Amino acid sequence: MDDALLAAYRGTDYRVRLGGGGYASIRIDHPPPASLAGHVKGQPWGFITAWNPHSQPRPRSQNRQAQRWLLQALRELPATRLIAPGVGVGNDGWREGSLFVVGPGTEQLDLLALRFGQHGYVHGDGDHAAQLRLP
């Protein structure tokens, strides 16, 4: 991964839609916001997408279909406890639909990231700082 793409990942605002409205913002190297604390409760979590594999823009219809397949794959994992919609918003206006998932560990999420052509995703463990994971 080149430095520009790495900087883009690090500068992205990873937004999780909250059930009561609004969103919680996850940032790499920072703990998840208090509004997510009740959901993560010491469990592993991830923020992952199927949009734009290999960082190459694709038509919205293809991205949405791939995201539905990712959602289905996450639902099938026995460890999954919660899935919430999200969006990654880059400093340059880049936006990608994403999913916040609680339960699966990095081993499972690495496999999904590779399956859906993703260079990386964000993960954490409970209230520990979010990390960029490059599978």
Instruction: Name the residue ranges covered by the structural domains of the chain.
Output: 3-133
Give the integer Cα–Cα distance in Å for 40 and 38: 6
The verdict on pTM exceeding 0.85 is yes
**pLDDT tens digits, one per residue of 70-93:** 999 999 999 999 999 999 999 888
Asked if 32 and 96 count as a contact pair (C-beta separation under 8 A), the reply is no
Residue with tokens 């499972």: 108
At 42, the pLDDT band (50, 70, 90 cuts) reads very high
**pLDDT tens digits, one per residue of 107-134:** 999 999 999 999 999 999 999 999 999 9
Does residue 1 have a pLDDT over 80?
Answer: no
Does residue 17 have a pLDDT over 90?
Answer: yes
H or E stretch at 20: none
Amino acid 2: pLDDT = 85
Mean pLDDT of all residues in 4-24:
93
Mean pLDDT of all residues in 25-35:
96
Mean predicted lDDT score pLDDT of the chain: 95
Amino acid 26: pLDDT = 98
Q: Taking Cα atoms as reference points, which of 80, 75, 70, 86 lies closest to residue 16?
A: 86
